[in-house]
Amino acid sequence: MSNKVLLSGNEAAARGAWEAGVKVATAYPGTPSTEILENLVKYDEVYAEWSTNEKVALEVALGAAIAGARSMTSMKHVGLNVAADPMFTSAYTGINAGFVIVTCDDPGMHSSQNEQDNRRYAKFAKLPLVEPSDSQESKDYLKEAFNISEMFDTPVLFRMTTRISHSKTMVELGERKEVGIKDYVKNFRKFVTLPANAKARHYVVEERLKKLKEFSSTSPLNRIEEGDRSLGIVTSGISYQYAKEVFPHATFLKLGMAFPFPEDLFKKFASMVQRVIVIEENEPFLEEEIKTLGYTEVEGKKYIPFCDELSPEVVRKGVLNEELPHPEPIKSVMRPPVFCAGCPHTGVFYNLWRLKATVTGDIGCYTLGALAPYESIDTTICMGAGITNAFGFQLARGKEFSKKVFGVVGDSTFLHSGITGLIDIVYNKGITKIIILDNRITAMTGHQDHPGTGKTAKGEVTKAVNFKDIVKACGIEKVYEVDPHELRATREVLKEVMELDEPAVIISRRACALLPEERKKQAERPKRKVNVDICKGEKCLGCVKLGCPAISIKNGKASISDLLCVGCDLCIQVCPFKAIS
Amino acid sequence: MDKVFNVIISGVGGQGILTASELLSKVAMASGLDTKKSEVHGMSQRGGSVVSHVRFGRKVYSPLVEMGTCDLILSFEKSEALRWIHYLKVEGAKVIINDLELIPTTVSIGLDTYPRDIVKSIEEKVRAEVLLIPATDIANRTGDARTANTVLLGAMSNYLPFEPIVWEKVITESFKKHTIEANLMAFRFGREFK
């Protein structure tokens, strides 16, 4: 056991990429995928970058693969929507050196806006699909994905889920195998997808799928585990682990390469067992493949829910309609995530709440501005939509209404997909008002650098994008810069902007309160105290409405936790009785 | 050990739950067992409720503990112990709770109330042994209040099938050099608390 280490699926995938001789790795941060690139950064042999967005990430890595370097790109499930355009065409061009696209799906939506099952992308884009079910497989199967990629001249879709990415299991490590840079030979018919070439490539793709189908029945990634033959279970990914808990004695068809579906292997399996049940999270991806083969008696979604993630108890309840005996639940207190003490977003959303603005939101920590006490945000769709949704509100409800509408977007998000929306507003003569919440980092996913921070993924100093210059270059003439912790000054700017008959951008700049430099400053500041003799407490609640987690009501008066207070002065600014110092 | 042992560690984002569950997994691994642990990063870290599942035994499949099979809950905050109580097995479970109340914003703004008599309500509903530990007070005796989590791990270790020497080895390997002594002391203080 001594040579084994405890790794998360993401750490193991990064290790697998390194062992496979990967030279170029790209990603845009997104839970639950982020730690893959964060771990690849540590290897000197690998060039690793935070890309501006997922489409850029996929294209950079594909370019490197065509030019001869084993390459990988990783992203969360919705990130693959952004990168779908190049992914679909990369199936036609094929590769040169191995190319793997890692998608980390989020069943249960622990940190996502939808529950899409990206296994469907494999079938849609006609790419082979590889799925690990623990950290060891995350490492080993990733190496095999590179072999499949080069064997069949195709990108491979490597699909993980939150419970694979963020669970830690034991892994036996291997060594890196250098594979070198492959020769690059210009190939007009393969890599230039002019219609005439692409038409010919489509035939290649269909032929390739047939060969991959034969291969998947013989691949060691797909296996039959013999057991009691009265029940046969088809499963993949994390669902395999839950099914093993509930049905330890059944016969299993465990799929690590589920697309193209291993038809011959399934037929063999089906002939061995009396009954087949498919246990899979979210979509009936495997079940549909099986039913298409004519096995209409196979059961799956009849028992297993479409919505939310699976767990051992969900599988047990679904298939056996039973629960293990357990105590009755006891209600606890609601504890949703909140803005941290000293969070720059607090100042902005406190003001937007006071101004009763309509706010189209975006993806980031600031999405929490939708929750109490601010309840400021009206929409949250995807990266960049904070800007464009706001323009849509203007088009539907007119300019007067639009004056009270603000689109909010984070710094990393603005660079990811906000700029095109801003240009659209200027070009189409909108008067939409946008706030860029520049907290100097990609915060929600745990502090990744981006093109605005002046540092690369490897920590090297680089040019930092100037937000003001970009906004001006888009054609916005009214650009304001505010410190969101200056509450009154920020509110004055918001009010001024609301009266404008032209588009405007407010850059709200203050670093995330969890950044190390900020923490140092906080340590030097005094903790804030409430003078209970002056405080009106429950009759006032002025400071409580800030939503600061350090502030609560104790014995009828405001109280500030020494443990949580970071010494910012927001509460001092909002207290109408000057009871805080 | 053929039977898989199931632990749930709960608390509030920022309390160090993931570090604690990592230590436990390492102890299980160093004791020659298979182990898996699962938790979720991202949204839940912003002051929200956080939970980590740790399982160990001869062979572990699911990284998630099944409802009705949890042998032990270790909670770094009182109300967070309540949240997972239905995961416990019905007989012979342990619940170790840090005597700390963190009042969420939902309570301050009047959307919810903080539960009262937490230990009593668990004891009424579950046949489990409940241990309330003033971990911060005990940690202060080491001279470093930040060792409260290690105090709790020490208290938990009394109910797990691992040798103290393995725990101390893992603690020594896992903490920064200047905090090892305080953490070892905290672990021993916690172990005395039964």
pTM above threshold 0.90? yes
As beta bridge partners, residue A560 has A551
Residue-wise pLDDT for A197-221, tens only, equals 999 999 999 999 999 999 999 999 9
Q: Spell out which residues of chain A touch residue B24, defining contact as CB-CB under 8 Å.
A: none
Q: Which phi and psi (to 5°) does residue B155 adopt?
A: -65, -40
Q: Is B46 on the interface with A (CB under 8 A)?
A: yes
| Residue in A closest to B113 by C-alpha | A333
Mark yes or no for CB contact A4/B29 under 8 Å: yes
Chain B residue nearest residue A313, CA to CA: B66
Taking an 8 Å cut-off on Cβ atoms, the answer to whether A336 and B48 are in contact is yes
Residues in chain A closer than 8 A to B62 (CB atoms): 241-242, 244-245, 311-312
CATH 3.40.50.2300 is the classification of domain B5-192: no
Instruction: Specify the pLDDT at position B194.
Output: 80
Q: Is the pLDDT of residue A185 over 70?
A: yes
Rounded CA-CA distance A89/A266 in Å is 30
* pLDDT above 80: residue B2: no
Q: Is the pLDDT of residue B92 over 60?
A: yes
| Alpha carbon of B143: minimum distance to chain A alpha carbons (Å) | 17
Q: A563 pLDDT exceeds 90?
A: no
Q: In what order do the strands lie in the sheet with A228-236?
A: A222-225, A250-255, A228-236, A276-279
Q: How far is B88 from chain A (nearest CA, A)?
A: 6
Residue A497 structure tokens: 């902007």
Cβ atoms within 10 Å of A323's Cβ, excluding its own: 12
Distances (CA, A) of A462 to A103, A134, A452, A468, B130: 28, 37, 10, 18, 55
B151: closest CA of chain A, how far (Å): 19
Min Cα–Cα distance to chain A from B181, Å: 24
Task: Identify whether the C-beta of residue B113 lies closer than 8 Å to the C-beta of residue B107.
Answer: yes
pLDDT at residue B86 is higher than 50 = yes
Q: What is the pLDDT of residue B24?
A: 98
**Spatial distance between the Cα atoms of A323 and A126, rounded to a whole number of angstroms:** 40
* Four-CA torsion A130, A134, A135, A139, nearest 10 degrees: -30
Say yes or no to pLDDT of A1 above 50.
no
Q: Looking at per-residue confidence, does A346 or A1 come out higher?
A: A346
A563–chain B nearest CA distance, Å: 10
Mean pLDDT of chain A: 97
What local confidence, expressed as pLDDT, does residue B1 receive?
63
Query: Cα–Cα distances in Å, from A78 out to A119, A267, A412, B110?
Result: 13, 34, 16, 35
pLDDT number for residue B105: 87
What is the mean pLDDT of the segment spanning A81-86?
98
Inter-CA distances, B184 with A23, A118, A445, B160, Å: 43, 46, 33, 18
Domains and CATH numbers, chain A: 4-218 (3.40.50.970), 222-320 (3.40.50.920), 344-519 (3.40.50.970), 525-574 (3.30.70)
Contact map slice: B 77-116 vs A, CB within 8 A: 79-80, 82-83, 85-90, 103-109, 111-115
Give pLDDT, residue B44. 60
Closest CB from A166, A547, A554 relative to B38: A166
Q: What is the DSSP letter of A371?
A: S
ipTM of the predicted structure? Answer: 0.96
Q: Which of B8, B59, B64 would best serve as a mutation to test chain A binding (most A beta carbons within 10 A)?
A: B64
Q: Give tens-digit pLDDT for A15-56.
A: 999 999 999 999 999 999 999 999 999 999 999 999 999 999
In this predicted structure, the answer to whether residue A172 has a pLDDT above a threshold of 50 is yes
Residue A2 has pLDDT above 60, yes or no: no
Is B149 in CB contact (< 8 Å) with chain A?
Answer: no
Task: State what percent of residues in chain A have pLDDT above 70.
Answer: 100
The pLDDT value given to residue B145: 87
pLDDT band, residue B42 (cuts 50/70/90): low
Would you say A40 and A77 are in contact if contact means Cβ atoms under 8 Å apart?
Answer: no
Give the pLDDT confidence of A272-316 residue by residue, as tens digits: 999 999 999 999 999 999 999 999 999 999 999 999 999 999 999
Q: Hey, what long-range contacts does A424-430 have (CB within 8 A, 24 or more apart)?
A: A424/A388, A424/A391, A425/A387, A425/A391, A425/A503, A426/A474, A426/A475, A426/A476, A426/A503, A427/A475, A428/A391, A430/A391, A430/A394, A430/A395, A430/A503
The yes-or-no verdict on residue B113 having pLDDT over 70 is yes
Residue A509 has pLDDT above 90, yes or no: yes
pLDDT tens column, B157-173: 999 999 999 999 999 99
- With 90 as the cut, is the pLDDT of residue A415 above it? yes
pLDDT of residue A219: 98
Average confidence (pLDDT) over B132-155: 95
Chain B residue whose CA is closest to A367: B43
- The residue ranges of every structural domain in chain B are 5-192
Residue B40 pLDDT level (bands cut at 50, 70, 90): confident
